[in-house]
Structure 1
Amino acid sequence: MSVTTAGPRQGRTARERGPWPRRWAWPAAFTAGALLLFFAVLRLAGTQPVKADAASNALQAWQMLHGNPLLHGWWLTDVSFYTTELPQFMLVELVAGLRPEVAHICAALTYTLLVVLAAFVARGRSRGAEGTVRALLAAGIMLAPAPGETAWALLLTPNHTGTGVPVLLLLLLVDLAPRRWYTAVAAGVLLAWALVGDPLILVIGVLPVVVVCLARACLALLHRRVLWYEIALGCAAALAVPAADAADRFIVALGGFTVSKNPAKLVQPSVLPKNVPMTIRSFLSLFGADVAGARGTLNETFAFLHLAGAVLVLAALVLGGWRLVRTLGWRGPSAADRADLVADVLVVAIVANIAAYFLFYQLKNVDQAHEIAPVLSLGAALAGRLLGGPLLRARLVPALAAGLACYAVMLGFAASGRPAPPDNAAVAGWLEQHGLRSGIAPYWEANSVTLDSGGTITMGSVKLTGRGLSPWHWNEDMRIFNASDHSANFFITVPGEQVTPARARAAFGPPARVYHFRGYTIMVWNENLLRQLGPPVG
């Protein structure tokens, strides 16, 4: 009896275990791919020096971890990143501590998360071969960072790249969650949360959802139908704006940080023709395809091959725009039901981001492309979602696989570049060796030196004004300029800064000692320089 029963039991166990390798194959491959991508992007980010902007985020997160959660005393830039990048910096600093490499780790985490989310949004509800092709197409397009300006704009400034994360999360929620009132509420809460961190959410999140949902609802009303879900979703998105404004006011009322005024404004009509070529170059640079700006045979080859990703996104944008126009035309009462809400929102978000960039900024170089950084992840998701199926049916999967492999090799080559030291690490070490612990400097040297020293040196950012030198309200903890509690006895600058050694002498008098180190001028006084600064300026 025992022999007879053992055989079937063993057979059933084998059959039960049989599906497991296939069931876990894709999750294992997906996880391995994400880890490889993270380490590649981490290496690529490491080829870019950590400058003052990223240093400021690291210092803000460090203070939030150490008793200042609302950043009391801080004046931030026009973008706080309070609910977007700063929580991520806090989590990384819990493990890594306060050091420049935190910026590289956060850049790699953010970009890996963007690729994963773009792939899921591209796949949508599709499964099988089409779902796989959709996801891989989106992920492949995002293997775009190349050496130089592209890596800098996408990974290190800090920038709006990470703002694509809440937008893609929103689209996943809309795509996969039930069409119920609580989904609309969750979408509104997500938008409000992200809007506190980055006002760009108004352009690439709130506006697209409101416009698309309102247009759908109006179309349905013309045919005597009410699309309650679209109405609820549009209203929730619109209410995110006053909710975020209330949250900002509440933070200020509690003594939290202050955000500087956004410098963006409508440019003069005469500027627009000059913005056209730079807008095109900025768009291409996001995909590593700025052929006009590439220098050297290798970089030109990189840019030329990356044109494929940019072309696919443009094709998807045209196709998605055409479908959106058809949806909003007189196509019968069920037109809105048949349309792809996620694709429509993506189209409007991309167009709105590029239009705002073109109309509100006087474009001088492609470094400004970080203002449209979300276009990369949103465009990749749109291309995968709309073109994955047609390319599969056209039997172009082998060509896509070859392109994906080529992009992966190029990313690996870019990641093999020489690591760049932190921007002011050398002078930070020199200051520590000479016992200089508290000073002032122009913006690009101030917070950067503080981070490079691990917080052992306190530096304040100053700006040239009509009255001499004054603290600058830009990514700065203004409490360190309180002369009754703090002191500063040295000043550093480099060639090219507006605040020259001559200006420092005019403001503070002759220094007691002057040092020159690797292009830096370090001037030391035997008094507290904070007492001679003018009032803070914005």
Structure 2
Amino acid sequence: MATQVPLNSDAAATLLEAKDIASGNITLQDWYLSTVSFYFTETLPYAILIKLFGWHLSFAYLVPAIMLSTVVFLAAHLIIRHSRHYQLSRVFPLVVFAAPGFFASHMMLVPCIHMGSYVLTLSCWWLVETYEEHRGAWRLALLTFFLTLTLFSDDIVRYVLLLPLVLTALFKVRQHPHLGWIVLCSILSLALTKLLGFGLTLVPSFETPGLPPLNFTSYNAISYNLELFLKGVLAFFGAEFFGYPIFSWHGLSRLFHAGIALAFFGMLYWIARYRHIRDTLSIGSLLGISIILGAYLLSNLPIDLMTTRYLVPVFILGALVLGRHFPLAGWAYGLSACLALLYAATNIGLPKWDYTTTNRNFPLAQALNQHGLNNGYATFWNANLNALVSRAEISPVIIDSSGIRYFDWLAKSNWKKNGGNFLICDSEEQAGLAISHLGEPNKKYVIDGKILLIWEASFNLN
């Protein structure tokens, strides 16, 4: 299913970083990264794979598929490990993210989309739950280790795992004093995260701009956040039935998906309101869901429909809670099986086994190789993608009326030193601005809707 999603420069940057790590640049010296590093959760798994087996473009699709499969497996294990009856039916709620449609695939089946963090999040919850049952200092040590790696790499874990875990442990510590060790492990992992960050300042390493401050949204923007939330949920479930004929396949199937989405949140509310939840994992999951939903609706976090990716933990943790606590009688087993299978059958598309078809065989990268181009510049969404697939090193740039300047975002500063003799633009307008600053190119091609300008002589940007 991952091969349905075209590769883009955001995702390609992770693979370029991983190739650099596998080549020996362990600390990613000279790299400008994203708002957070994603180092241990997303980038390092690719680097290890490349070091072991060599580089292949299929890793861009294999690794996300492996990560989502691991999340599904861990969630299923956490659901059924204490279940004695109707074990199979308990995992049916996982279908909401285990059978992704096209939009949901964009949220979960591309490189560097927080899925590595969710693997470690569920692993941490397993360690917490097994520690409650069997104790063991090794579980506490492993929990601290996983928390440190995840907190260093991805800030979303603070809201999905760390804060819910600490609050739940503090709430239950009077009745269960051993949970105090969980709180201490969480505090220690925060300290180790800071220590790791400080250590990297002492050696040449990557730079991250950091996250912008999370503010409460303005009163007038609340309706916009709510609209984005509803649009995102409907898109994730493949449930955008608005505008389709009522008695049509698309209309009825999407209406069915909307019913599943409504039932998902309705059952979650019912469980939180009326079921007596006592286990640490479920309490923590409900807290994590509440924190993420609150942050999404009441903060400046939502920007556009793609920020639906921050709601993915709601679907994962929500399905886990449903599987654990929704009461199922004998007749409900067959009904839940039919609903889950029908949802999957009407949501997922036909898999595309050849990922190059999804990417139209990377026409720009092919052109760079055909012309023997090794160093150049491109607007951001054309830079890393074509650098990954071709033999060229491409610096991302911004082109506007003021000139052409480097864009220090998911890029390596060393690329600037190479100079270059080509430029990829998004439009004829950008190409005209570039020509006015750089002079007439020797060759100009329109490829896949983009403009490729080639000069005989290499040049450096000021």
Partner of 1:211: 167
Q: Spell out, residue by residue over 1:356-377, the C-alpha distance to the aligned partner (whole angstroms, 9 max, x if none).
A: 2223336454222112222222
- Map 1:361-400 to 2 at 5 A: 361=300, 363=302, 365-387=304-326, 390-391=327-328, 393=329, 395-400=331-336
Deviation at 1:249, TM superposition (A): 2.4
CA displacement, residues 128-148 of structure 1 (integer Å, 9 cap, x when unaligned): x243332x224333334113x
Which residue of the other structure, out of 420, 426, 430, is the alignment partner of 1:488? 420
1:133 matched residue in structure 2:
89
* Structure 1 residue 321 corresponds to structure 2 residue 321: no
Deviation at 1:180? 4.8
> 1:134-283 to 2 correspondence within 5 Å?
134=90, 136-147=91-102, 149-156=103-110, 158-177=112-131, 178-180=134-136, 182-217=138-173, 220=174, 227-263=176-212, 265-266=214-215, 267-283=217-233
Alpha carbons of structure 1 residues 518 and 195: separation in structure 2 relative to 1, 3 Å: same
Q: Distance in 1 between matches of 2:298 and 2:111?
A: 22
Q: Give the ranges of 4+ consecutive aligned residues of structure 1 lying more than 6 Å apart after TM superposition.
A: 293-296
Compared with structure 1, are the counterparts of its residues 122 and 319 closer, same or farther at alpha carbon in structure 2 (3 Å cutoff)? farther
Rounded to whole Å, the distance in 2 between the matches of 1:273 and 1:430 is 46
Q: Is the 8 A contact 1:213 1:233 kept in 2?
A: yes
Q: In structure 2, give the amino acid aligned to 1:109.
A: I
Change (3 A) 1:467 1:365: closer
Does the Cα contact within 8 Å between 1:289 and 1:305 map onto a contact in 2? yes
Matched, 1:303 2:254: yes
Cα distance in 1, alignment partners of residues 420 and 41 from structure 2: 33
Cα distance in 2 for residues equivalent to 1:439 and 1:293: 45
Counterpart CA distance in 2 for 1:401 and 1:502 is 58
Provide the residue aligned with 2:367 in structure 1: 430
Q: 1:396 to 1:361 in 2, by over 3 A?
A: same
CA contact (8 A) 1:122 1:381 kept: yes
Q: Superposition pairs for residues 335-354 of structure 1, below 5 Å? A: 339-354=278-293
Equivalent pair of 1:489/1:528 in contact (CA under 8 Å):
yes
Offset of residue 264 of structure 1: 5.5
Provide the secondary structure at the position in 2 that maps to 1:490.
strand
The answer on whether the counterparts of 1:425 and 1:452 sit within 8 Å (CA) in structure 2 is: yes
Structure 2: how far apart are the matches of 1:290 and 1:117? Answer: 30
2:403 is aligned with what amino acid? G
Give the equivalent residue in structure 2 for 1:333: none
Instruction: Quickly say closer, same or farther: Cα 1:299–1:494, change in 2 above 3 A.
Output: farther
**SS of equivalent residue, structure 1 residue 84:** helix
1:407 alignment partner in structure 2: 343
Confirm or deny: 8 A CA contact 1:116 1:139 kept in the other structure: no
CA distance change for structure 1 residues 62 and 298 in 2, over 3 Å: closer, same or farther? farther
Distance change in 2, residues 1:285/1:243 (3 Å): farther
Query: What TM-score do the two structures reach when normalised by structure 1?
Result: 0.78
* CA–CA distance in structure 2, aligned partners of residues 57 and 448 of structure 1: 10
Give the structure 1 partner of residue 23 of structure 2: 66
Partner of 1:442: 379
Distance of aligned partners of 1:236 and 1:308 in 2 relative to their CA distance in 1, 3 Å threshold = farther
Give the CA deviation at 1:317.
Answer: 2.8
Q: How far 1:289 sits from its partner (Å)?
A: 3.3
Residue 357 (structure 1) aligned with residue 296 (structure 2):
yes
2:38 maps to which residue? 81
Match runs of 1:497-508 below 5 Å? 500-508=430-438
SS of alignment partner, residue 222 of structure 2: helix
> 1:437 Cα shift?
1.5
Superposed displacement of residue 230, structure 1: 1.9
Match of 1:536 in 2: none
Number of residue pairs matched?
Answer: 457
The CA deviation string for residues 45-69 of structure 1, in whole angstroms up to 9 with x for no partner, is 2121111111111111111111111
Q: 2:372 aligns to what SS in structure 1? A: coil
Q: Percent identity?
A: 22
Secondary structure in structure 1 of the residue aligned to 2:405? strand
Partner Cα distance (1:290, 1:386) in 2 = 29
- Contact kept in structure 2, 1:51 and 1:157, CA below 8 Å: no
Amino acid corresponding to residue 361 of structure 1 in structure 2 = N
2: CA distance, partners of 1:320 / 1:245: 38
Moved more, 200-209 or 457-466: 457-466
Q: 1:261, CA displacement in angstroms?
A: 2.4
Higher mean displacement: 105-114 or 153-162 = 153-162
- 1:477 Cα offset (Å): 1.0
Q: Tell me how far 1:491 sits from its aligned partner.
A: 0.5
Match status 1:48 vs 2:5: yes
- CA gap of 1:295–1:446, structure 2 versus 1, over 3 A, is farther
Matched to 2:409, the amino acid is W
Residues 168, 378 of structure 1: 8 Å contact kept: no
